[in-house]
Structure 1
Amino acid sequence: MDSNQQQTKWSQFLSLIVVFFFWGFVAASNDILIPVFKKWFVLSQVQSQLVAWAFYVAYFIGSVIFFVISLKSDILQKFGYKKTLAVGLVLSALGAFLFVPAASAANFWFFLAALFIVGLGFSVQQIVANPLAIKMGSPQTGAHRLTLAGGINSLGTTIGPILVGIALFGMGNKEDSAPKNQNLTKIEIVKNEYQTHKNELTKNIIELKKDREDDPAKVNEVIATVEKNIADLDTQINSISQNTEANDSQVEAYSSKLGEIKQRSTNITYPLEFVKDNLKLVKTPFIVLGIAFILVAVFMLFSKIEDPAKEEEAQIEEGSAKFSIFKYPQLYLGMLAIFIYVGVEVSIISNLPALLHTKEFGGVLEHNIAPFVSLYWGSLMIGRWNGGINVFNISKSTNMVLKFVVPFIAFGIIILANTLSGKDVSAFYIYAFWIIAFIIMSFIGGKNAGKTLMIFGVAGVVMMILGLIYPDKEIAKYFFISGGLFCSIMWPSIFDLAIAGLGKNTGKASSFLVMMILGGGIIPLIQGWICDFDKASPGGIMGITWTHFSYVIPIICFIYLAFYGFATPKILKKQGIQMGETESSAH
């Protein structure tokens, strides 16, 4: 490794991280679209995960295309980093604008195609921006620079779901989103859940009666179906009102009946024009995004970002002119690590709305999902802001103070943003305990990429297990959400380990790694497939629902990530590459 302690090129780096913000904004917004599309297009959980699949499979295809072209000509050296970035941004803008005709047609596959094109553009941007961020200064602080850029990415993931949630559902209602009253009896809680579902269906009927675009016969047929469900809800509500001292078995019976009615509600196919009307609000945020992509592309072309010198790419000569990933175990194991890391990061949150919608986790409806999505992605912001501190040339004592202060500033931004959107997130305050645990682990990991990855991988395993077994579901959900904290520094750690010693083949290696973002489309499908067992087997497994049990998938993923963090430094050491902690005047 080069020991040259060159300074970070801040003016150039700050221009670059604008791109990281948009990646986060769109990726997190997908988690709001998933339950919306699931509802209006009448999808199963695994079908709804095609949203993530379309977005992340584009990274794979885009990276394959990039690599094939680069075999004949080095794109980054021929066209330059700035121009390649601009092309990726324009491509993403095209995909964002396609949301307009997709919403007008109310066609799920059209939406997937639009997301695919956005992701295709992002794949080009990722291939360029990640190695460029690492090269904008000292190699020893490359991973921390990428972590800082990831912190800006996570600011986008925190704000994205809030703004998209406002665009789709309007400002929040503090009373509606407030934590459950702990003084309510079990039967009172169930009665409230009946009333909430009734209110949702009643709202749909009011809107259906205003529908003048669809076939009246189809509208009346749907109204009759919805009214039948409301009548069944009223019957049960009246029964509960006369049975306020219901025992546990009776409460369970009422809950089961509610589950049956909700299942019937999710199977209602609404008239096409009615669906179009409910999806039209999707257009606005993506029009704004498309325009922003174009503006940033223009900004990039005129920015002061310099392309890394060609000589830098040629510093380490390879024994063969032909590049093979099998010559570098750190790379092919890292490819699997990226596949699994992106997969678990996306899968935890894209299946969380389905988990929170279950009775055991409170039956949270679509319009109240955004704060939880924001907290999850905000957890990555907390972690990345914490890791990004290591980039700055500050004293060891200042660094230590900031390691405690900055995560809570980030947490405060999450709370403030959700509060300003009209949501009651007072229940989130308990999450401070998870943040403290994260800070302690970050000190143990230090600046050693392998050690940190191993520790956080083990922490991820523990959190997922606790989420599965903890009896209080109001607490259990935070164990799952904390997966965001422990995923936060994994990307730069894996990336830094995987490209170590690649020299002039860094660009090719980067395209292979970005290719593996495909995991974000595959692993959520697997977890979603397990969730759907609840339809055929509503009794669940081992006393919990299949949706809850599906979080065994993240456990398996975190185990491999911990292994990669443990094994790769040893592999690199055999190659004469030391990835240990570097000491400098800043620490």
Structure 2
Amino acid sequence: MDSNQQTKWSQFLSLIVVFFFWGFVAANNDILIPVFKKWFVLSQVQSQLVAWAFYVAYFVGSVIFFIISLKSDILQKFGYKKTLAVGLCLSAVGAFLFVPAALAANFWFFLSALFIVGLGFSVQQIVANPLAIKMGSPETGAHRLTLAGGINSLGTTIGPILLGIILFGMGNKEDSQPKTDHLSKIEIVKTEYLTHKNELSQNITELQKDNQDDPAKVQEVIAKVEKNISSLDTEIQSIDQNLSANDSQVDAYTKKLGEIKEKSTSIQYPVGFVKEHLKQVKMPFIGLGIAFILVAIFMLFSKIEDPAKEEEAAIETGSTKFSILKYPQLYLGMLAIFIYVGVEVSIISNLPALLHTKEFGGVLEHNIAPFVSLYWGSLMIGRWSGSINVFKMSKTMNTVMKFIVPFIAFAIIIFANELSGKDVSSFYVYAFWILAFIIMSFIGGKMAGKTLMIFGIAGVIMMILGLVYPDKEIAKYFFISGGLFCSIMWPSIFDLAIAGLGKNTGKASSFLVMMILGGGIIPLIQGWICDFDKTSPEGIMGITWTHFSYVIPIICFAYLAFYGFLTPRLLRKQGIVMGETSSAGH
């Protein structure tokens, strides 16, 4: 390919729409998890099957693609854009399946639909990444992939906000403001009782309008809900007569509230009632399905060119005796990708459950979207910051931009949430975490191993502080900042893992993509720990099991720091010296 060839911007801009879709759907899973958990009466580990279905599809799709490629080079036989169009159509089928899934109000149907969406994404991932690199000069390939990664992160930031509006309507700033400021401990507990009572009362109002289900079943459920409301009223009256309660009495009221909530979450609502609450879920996916089809058609009739077959043929094929075990940087890197994607997904997938706990303010489903947006927006902050290294500019300007760009991205997150009607003034304190990220970025520089090690250590520190920091209004931001420190890990791990593989780079890359499977496994493990709150409500070490579950990200970040430390040393023994890394997302 001519090194002086200009980027084909008209073609590339149509391609990066696909990257936006990946981020938009992946982040929306984190809004679906608490919604499904509530209406399908799921445990925390069961709710994590949403992430499992989506990310396992990546693994299955990559394996199928790899096996077929052993017999026939799909991309050369059918072409890049045709294969990409097939992936888009496959995702469209999954998106449209949300309609019958919502009509049936069936959790497993939803999981099947998400799996098919993810299966299509796996094909798109395999095609779109190399195609973006080849849409112009090789020297600017990293620039294009980095820009595409930034668009992906924009999708993860906007997606939760839009889905939150569709499912719950525009926000209420007064409702989303912290209500526990300047309240005593017993007053905070009373507020939580009243919040749960209002939620149950709203359900009764809606149940009384239910004309889809068996009236006897509806009355049976109303009786159960009213019984819980009666229990809440009894405790509220007791609190009103005991506003000077000591800490042990406050703990007793809190424990009782937990028992009542446990009964509330175990109520099986009538199918028609559940359908009514899930009907809005299908709307954004209908839109996505239509968009997938339109982009697929556009791809087929566009002037996007497949990379020249002669160029592909000129690349020497890898050894038929290729063995993963010959390359420690690869098999350790496969585990690193598995853990990286796993921890990135697990932190946010379990965050709604954490925020729903009493110690973190009992945040309800309709107020979760801003926190999900801030987490995924943190990855956007990191990736936009990392992309600065791709552009040629003076050292002084590079330094200035590394301070400016992250705060521009942060401003976009704040502005988007404000537009949705949510009060996010409490997010302003997050600027301190962004400043810490900027400082660590300077320390890490452009070296993949050093950057990965520093950010892994930072992740460990942030998760530990999130576990021990006494003020939970601040502690939650330590967990959310995991998004900042995950943001540049994908390219760092990828660069280290394929270093020195030469002719076998293609095979190695396919194995690394398979390891996205971690996004479906590690959240399950953390969710399993969260569920101990049901059998051991007293918690562990003075905190809830849901809070304690964030020891899993600590272990994950520790391994990633270890991989960043060890791999450059392994490579040097092989005579390989690592250069600079880019900052694209996966």
Q: Same fold (TM over 0.5)?
A: yes
Aligned-pair distance for 1:145? 4.6
Equivalent pair of 2:319/2:503 in contact (CA under 8 Å): no
Q: What is the CA deviation profile of residues 5-24 of structure 1, one whole-angstrom value per residue up to 9, with x for unaligned ones?
A: 98765554433321111001
Residue in 1 that maps onto 2:103: 104
User: Which residue identity does 2:441 align to in structure 1?
Assistant: S
Distance 1:54 1:159 in 2: 22
Residue in 2 that maps onto 1:535: 534
Residue in 2 that maps onto 1:494: 493
Residue in 1 that maps onto 2:408: 409
> Where in structure 2 are the equivalents of 1:270-349 lying within 5 Å?
270-310=269-309, 313=312, 317=316, 320-349=319-348
Q: What is the CA deviation profile of residues 414-438 of structure 1, one whole-angstrom value per residue up to 9, with x for unaligned ones?
A: 1111111111110000000000011
Equivalent pair of 2:15/2:128 in contact (CA under 8 Å): yes
Residue in 2 that maps onto 1:55: 54
Q: What is the CA deviation profile of residues 317-372 of structure 1, one whole-angstrom value per residue up to 9, with x for unaligned ones?
A: 46733433333333222211111111000000000011111111111111111111
Residue in 2 that maps onto 1:154: 153
User: Which residue identity does 1:419 align to in structure 2?
Assistant: E
User: Which residue identity does 2:365 align to in structure 1?
Assistant: E
Equivalent pair of 1:211/1:274 in contact (CA under 8 Å): yes
> Where in structure 2 are the equivalents of 1:250-269 lying within 5 Å?
250-269=249-268
User: Which residue identity does 1:299 align to in structure 2?
Assistant: F
Residue in 2 that maps onto 1:441: 440
Residue in 2 that maps onto 1:238: 237
Residue in 1 that maps onto 2:548: 549
Aligned-pair distance for 1:302? 3.7
**RMSD across aligned positions (CA):** 2.2
Aligned-pair distance for 1:404? 0.9
Cα distance, 1:155–1:496 mapped onto 2, change above 3 Å: same
Residue in 2 that maps onto 1:421: 420
Distance 1:371 1:54 in 2: 24
User: Which residue identity does 1:167 align to in structure 2?
Assistant: I
> Where in structure 2 are the equivalents of 1:516-531 lying within 5 Å?
516-531=515-530
Aligned-pair distance for 1:250? 1.5
Aligned-pair distance for 1:179? 2.0
Distance 2:524 2:482 in 1: 18
> Where in structure 2 are the equivalents of 1:38-77 lying within 5 Å?
38-77=37-76
Cα distance, 1:135–1:495 mapped onto 2, change above 3 Å: farther
Distance 2:188 2:430 in 1: 24
Q: What is the CA deviation profile of residues 113-172 of structure 1, one whole-angstrom value per residue up to 9, with x for unaligned ones?
A: 000000000111111223334455676776565343222111111111111111111111
Cα distance, 1:143–1:460 mapped onto 2, change above 3 Å: farther
Equivalent pair of 2:318/2:503 in contact (CA under 8 Å): no
Distance 1:455 1:308 in 2: 37
Residue in 2 that maps onto 1:362: 361
Residue in 2 that maps onto 1:183: 182
Cα distance, 1:445–1:144 mapped onto 2, change above 3 Å: farther
Cα distance, 1:256–1:140 mapped onto 2, change above 3 Å: farther
User: Which residue identity does 2:375 align to in structure 1?
Assistant: Y
User: Which residue identity does 1:35 align to in structure 2?
Assistant: P
User: Which residue identity does 2:374 align to in structure 1?
Assistant: L
Equivalent pair of 1:88/1:121 in contact (CA under 8 Å): yes
Equivalent pair of 2:491/2:581 in contact (CA under 8 Å): no
Cα distance, 1:203–1:405 mapped onto 2, change above 3 Å: same
Q: What SS class does the counterpart of residue 268 from structure 1 fall into?
A: coil
User: Which residue identity does 2:221 align to in structure 1?
Assistant: V
Distance 1:109 1:31 in 2: 17
Q: What is the CA deviation profile of residues 456-492 of structure 1, one whole-angstrom value per residue up to 9, with x for unaligned ones?
A: 1111111111111111111110000000000011112
Residue range with higher mean Cα deviation, 308-317 or 85-94: 308-317
Equivalent pair of 1:313/1:506 in contact (CA under 8 Å): no
Q: What SS class does the counterpart of residue 355 from structure 2 fall into?
A: helix
Q: What SS class does the counterpart of residue 580 from structure 2 fall into?
A: coil
Equivalent pair of 2:492/2:581 in contact (CA under 8 Å): no
Cα distance, 1:459–1:304 mapped onto 2, change above 3 Å: farther
Distance 2:446 2:517 in 1: 28
Equivalent pair of 1:376/1:484 in contact (CA under 8 Å): yes
Aligned-pair distance for 1:511? 2.1
Cα distance, 1:393–1:299 mapped onto 2, change above 3 Å: farther
> Where in structure 2 are the equivalents of 1:6-17 lying within 5 Å?
10-17=9-16
Q: What is the CA deviation profile of residues 212-264 of structure 1, one whole-angstrom value per residue up to 9, with x for unaligned ones?
A: 11011110000000001111111111121222222222211111111111111
User: Which residue identity does 1:58 align to in structure 2?
Assistant: A
Q: What SS class does the counterpart of residue 399 from structure 1 fall into?
A: helix
Residue range with higher mean Cα deviation, 239-248 or 341-350: 239-248
Cα distance, 1:582–1:205 mapped onto 2, change above 3 Å: closer
Residue range with higher mean Cα deviation, 133-142 or 449-458: 133-142
Distance 1:325 1:313 in 2: 23
User: Which residue identity does 2:252 align to in structure 1?
Assistant: A
User: Which residue identity does 1:450 align to in structure 2?
Assistant: G
Q: What is the CA deviation profile of residues 525-553 of structure 1, one whole-angstrom value per residue up to 9, with x for unaligned ones?
A: 00000111111111111111111111111
Distance 2:553 2:61 in 1: 26
Residue in 1 that maps onto 2:482: 483
Cα distance, 1:450–1:78 mapped onto 2, change above 3 Å: farther
Distance 1:13 1:511 in 2: 23
| Unpaired stretches in structure 1, ≥5 consecutive residues | none
Residue range with higher mean Cα deviation, 114-123 or 561-570: 561-570
Distance 2:515 2:64 in 1: 13
Residue range with higher mean Cα deviation, 384-393 or 30-39: 384-393
Distance 1:499 1:133 in 2: 19
Equivalent pair of 1:315/1:504 in contact (CA under 8 Å): no
1:94 has 2:63 as partner: no
Aligned-pair distance for 1:504? 4.6
Q: What is the CA deviation profile of residues 246-286 of structure 1, one whole-angstrom value per residue up to 9, with x for unaligned ones?
A: 22222111111111111110000000111011100101000
Aligned-pair distance for 1:559? 1.2
User: Which residue identity does 2:529 align to in structure 1?
Assistant: I
Q: What SS class does the counterpart of residue 280 from structure 2 fall into?
A: helix
1:398 has 2:397 as partner: yes
Return the TM-score normalized by structure 2.
Answer: 0.95
Return the TM-score normalized by structure 1.
Answer: 0.95
Cα distance, 1:218–1:190 mapped onto 2, change above 3 Å: same
Residue in 2 that maps onto 1:578: 577
Distance 2:482 2:356 in 1: 19
Q: What SS class does the counterpart of residue 402 from structure 2 fall into?
A: helix
Cα distance, 1:397–1:192 mapped onto 2, change above 3 Å: same
Equivalent pair of 1:82/1:307 in contact (CA under 8 Å): yes
Total equivalences in the alignment: 582
1:372 has 2:371 as partner: yes
Cα distance, 1:524–1:384 mapped onto 2, change above 3 Å: same
Aligned-pair distance for 1:407? 0.8
Distance 1:462 1:434 in 2: 12
Q: What is the CA deviation profile of residues 72-95 of structure 1, one whole-angstrom value per residue up to 9, with x for unaligned ones?
A: 112222222222211111110110
Cα distance, 1:39–1:362 mapped onto 2, change above 3 Å: same
User: Which residue identity does 1:359 align to in structure 2?
Assistant: K
Identity %: 86
Distance 2:89 2:417 in 1: 31
